[in-house]
Every structure is written in structure tokens, then in C-alpha cells.
Amino acid sequence: MLAAFLQGGDGGDGRAEELGRLDRLAGDGDFGTNITSALDRARQALEAEPPQDYRGWLTAVSRGFLGTGGTSGPLFGMFFRDLARCCDTGEPTLAEFSAGLTAAVATVQRYGKAEVGHKTMVDALVPAARTLEAEVAAGSQAADALARTADAAVEGARGTAALLARRGRASYVGDVARGVLDPGAAAAAIVLQAASAAQSG
């Protein structure tokens, strides 16, 4: 799915536009274009210099986000940078990917100061990282573990609709954002669905 995003701006399926619509309801409306330009930048870098490995691929995605505005740009940039670090040696094992995800989420929280319940991407990322840790500890198969991780992210993202925002621009509008899904949490869930889809082929 992330690859679909990379193919053509928003993958041609309107998801970036939908994320932008959510940001218009509760923020400043630039989330869709922020995501699209980050992924466009990443795609150009990948085409100019095709990476040899996962780390190179994730680093290009990270740089695409780090070069983009909005609050989500640097946060996703640091997120993907930490994920890239988990794959020194080619394809990461499930345990390595889990450690990378946990580190990435901790970095997002360190910089953004958002906790679960603040109606941000953290609401999707924290349950996902915890679920994957538990799956690794239980010795689950990668495909099952990543599917449950994606489900946890989706459930966390869905839950943001009911929340009052405590971080980001949506926190400026108070009750207006109630009932609106947080676009950053939705995007984080899409990323984890992409990881799951990539694993299951």
C-alpha cells in the first residue's frame, strides 16, 4: 500500500485527498499534500538512485518526510529513520522490525510529547508497537503478527474519532474535532497495513 502511495502521489485512489479532508475538518487541511509531497520526494530519490536494501528504501522515505513541512513531516521522518536503523543486514527479522517500531514510536513521543488519548498518530502507533512486541514474545508467525499489528493500529486510529485533541492543530478547535478521525493516526495505520500486506505477499 505504501508502494501504491509511492507510485503516483496518492496511488490514484484518493487516500491522500481523504486524509487532507480530515485535516481540513479539524486542522489546517495540508495533511494530504504534506503526505503526497513527502512520498513524491521519496519516489524521485528511489528512482534516481535505486536502493540496494530495505535500509536504503526506508531511508529514502524518511528523507522525503524530513524534507516536508507540517508537524507530521518531521515526525514521520524520524519514525522511518528509526525503522531504517532496524535493518542493517538486509531484510529485518520480525524481532528486529519490532525493536525498530518500538524505537520509532518512542522517538515520535519524545519529540511530539503526545500520549495515547491525545488524538494523534501516537494513538495508532503505540498499540501497534505493543501488539508486535507481544506477538514476537509469543513466537507468532510473521504474517499473523503483522496482520494483528495492523489491526491494532486501525483500531487505535478508529478510536481517535471519539477523542478531544490534546496535541497538534486539532487541539485548537476543541469540540469541533470531536467525531473526526485523526489523519495522522489514519496514515500511521495505512503504513502498518502496508507492512502487513508486504509480508503476506
Residues that bind ligand ADP (CB under 6 A): 23, 27-28, 30-31, 34, 70-72, 75, 108, 112-114, 120-122, 167-169, 182-185
Alpha carbon 89 to its chain centroid, in Å, reads 23
Give the CA distances from residue 183 to residues 28, 43, 60, 144, 186, in Å, rounded to whole numbers and listed in that order.
Answer: 11, 22, 22, 26, 5
Q: CB under 8 Å to 143, separation ≥6 — which residues?
A: 196, 199, 200
CB atoms inside a 10 Å sphere around CB 139: 8
Q: Is 31 in the site for Mg ion (CB under 5 A)?
A: yes
CB under 5 to 8 A by kind: which of ligand ADP, Mg ion, none does 98 bind? Answer: none
The size of the interface with Mg ion (CB under 5 A), counted in residues, is 6
Q: Is 27 in the site for Mg ion (CB under 5 A)?
A: yes
Q: Which is nearer to ligand ADP, 94 or 121 (CB)?
A: 121
Query: Binding residue for Mg ion (CB under 5 A) from 3, 14, 17, 28?
Result: 28
x/- site string to Mg ion, residues 67 to 96, per CB under 5 A? ---x--------------------------
- As a whole number of angstroms, the distance between CA 159 and CA 122 comes to 12
- As a whole number of angstroms, the distance between CA 39 and CA 53 comes to 18
User: Interface with Mg ion by CB under 5 A: which residues?
Assistant: 23, 27-28, 30-31, 70
